[in-house]
Amino acid sequence: MKYPFEASFEELQGNIAEFVKAIFGSLESEFLTMPKGDGFVDYATFEKAYEALKRGTKGFTSLAPTVVLKVVKATPVSLCVVRSMLGFTPPEWAYVATQHTGVEIDQGYVRSIDRRARQQPLEPMSFTPTMGKRIAALITAACQLLKEGCPRTRPEDIHRLCKADTVEGQTSLAPAAKLGLPYPVLLYERFLGRPFAGHKDSVSEIIGDVLECKIENILSNAGISYRKTKRAERIAHFDQAPDFIVPSEFNPIVVIEAKISEDDGTARDKITRVQHLAELGMRESVGGEPKFEVVAVISGRGFGVRKEDMKKLLLATRGKVFTPHLLDKLVGNTRLKEFTTKGKA
């Protein structure tokens, strides 16, 4: 089977459907596994924190902020237990706490507190005055919300506290802690919240880094000079910086975009980004040839959904589309081979 990066542009245009099939056949989704990262909390650790919080609040019958704060100080990951009871993300909790207490807590700060609690879950935490004030504000707002439960809403709306364990406030919490919840209730709330969604969001950069690391290893092993850009970095002559530029941003000959997508909507957005890079390359074309070669390295089931989108990607890159299974062919089938200084192209 011939891959699109092995064909001439004329061959690609004349047999685009077959080349789409070739790339689809090499795509593989990795959505069933995720890296743990350094902030992953296993169930045993989470349960220890839950039990510490349950003991400290006498089965959640006494939600005094001072009591909860004491537990959090001794068992930091119990902060994540409280947040899970609310069903909030860290930025959402910070916003609500600021509104309820008047203590300013920005998103970056609350994320750093949450990360510290996950990375050192059972190591007692020392508070600086500012940190103590902000964590106290988070806990005060949480206790107030958990005591009050779900307020009345319009029939067409649903409140975030309309959950089996918080809908009636403290009246709901104590029985949930004492008797447990029926399995269909647990499944329904899991259905609304998507399992592992929070963890997936927290490691999204790591997932992307895995693909970029593979590309870096290939470039380094071939002795190729390259510039790896940082997130949201501004590069001269590029209104959107590609992930890799070879040999440098001052003389781009090859630009590489590494993209992962597990849904077709996001994949379409990322393909549009690659198309734009190809348009930039053609603005300063020489004899009809682009100023620089655009290479796409893609992974995830999102790219394997829409054939028309894949056609656009193949035409924009002139066939230079690779998947993780095809990375061993990356150097030998692109202009990267012009910059190899060791090993075989």
Q: Are residues 105 and 223 in the same domain?
A: no
- pLDDT in the model for residue 113: 95
- Grouping H, G, I as helix, E, B as strand and the rest as coil, residue 313 is helix
User: What is the domain count for the chain?
Assistant: 2
Q: Are residues 90 and 144 in the same domain?
A: yes
- Does some domain include residue 168? yes
Assess whether 243 and 137 both reside in one domain.
no
- What pLDDT, on a 0 to 100 scale, did the predictor assign at position 197? 77
- Do 237 and 94 lie in one domain? The reply is no
- Position 243 scores a pLDDT of 93
**Is 175 found in the same domain as 272?**
no
Where a domain ends, among 169, 194, 219?
194
318 domain-assigned: yes
Do 149 and 280 fall into the same domain?
no
* Predicted local confidence at residue 46, as pLDDT: 94
Predicted pLDDT of residue 42: 92
Q: What pLDDT score does 72 carry? A: 96
Within a domain: 107: yes
Between CA 326 and CA 334 the distance in angstroms is: 13
Same domain, 53 and 10: no
- Same structural domain, 117 and 218: no
Check whether residue 81 and residue 134 sit in a common domain.
yes
Structure tokens at 124: 């007692």
Same domain membership, residue 100 and residue 175:
yes
Q: Decide which of 194, 224, 246 is a domain's last residue.
A: 194
> Is residue 28 domain-resident?
yes
Instruction: Please tell me the predicted confidence (pLDDT) of residue 31.
Output: 67
**Does residue 37 fall inside a structural domain?**
no
Domain boundary among 176, 194, 212: 194
pLDDT at 344: 57
Contact between residue 261 and residue 270 where contact means Cβ atoms under 8 Å apart:
yes
- What does each of the 345 residues of the chain score in pLDDT, given as a tens digit? 689 999 999 999 999 999 999 999 998 776 677 778 888 999 999 999 999 999 999 999 989 999 999 999 999 999 999 999 999 999 999 999 999 999 999 999 999 999 999 999 999 999 999 999 999 999 999 999 999 999 999 999 999 899 889 999 988 988 888 878 787 877 777 777 766 777 777 776 676 788 899 999 999 999 999 999 987 788 888 888 899 999 999 999 999 999 988 888 889 999 999 999 999 988 877 777 888 999 999 998 889 989 999 999 999 999 999 999 999 999 999 999 999 997 655
Cα–Cα separations (whole angstroms), residue 141 to 95, 99, 151, 273, 298: 10, 9, 15, 42, 43
CA distances from 269 to 155, 263, 285, 300, 345 (A): 35, 10, 25, 14, 32
Q: Is 300 helix (H, G, I), strand (E, B) or coil?
A: coil
Please indicate, yes or no, whether residues 76 and 105 belong to a single structural domain of this protein: yes
pLDDT value of residue 196: 74
Question: Do the domain assignments include residue 310?
Answer: yes
Q: How far apart are CA 110 and CA 19, in angstroms?
A: 47
Q: Give the span between the Cα atoms of 106 and 13, in whole angstroms.
A: 51
Q: Looking at the structure, do residues 9 and 105 belong to the same domain, yes or no?
A: no
In this structure, is residue 187 part of a structural domain?
Answer: yes
The range of the structural domain enclosing residue 333 comes to: 4-32+203-339
122 lies in some domain: yes
* Confidence (pTM): 0.71
Contact by Cβ (8 Å): 95, 88? no
User: Do residues 86 and 142 make contact, with C-beta atoms less than 8 angstroms apart?
Assistant: yes
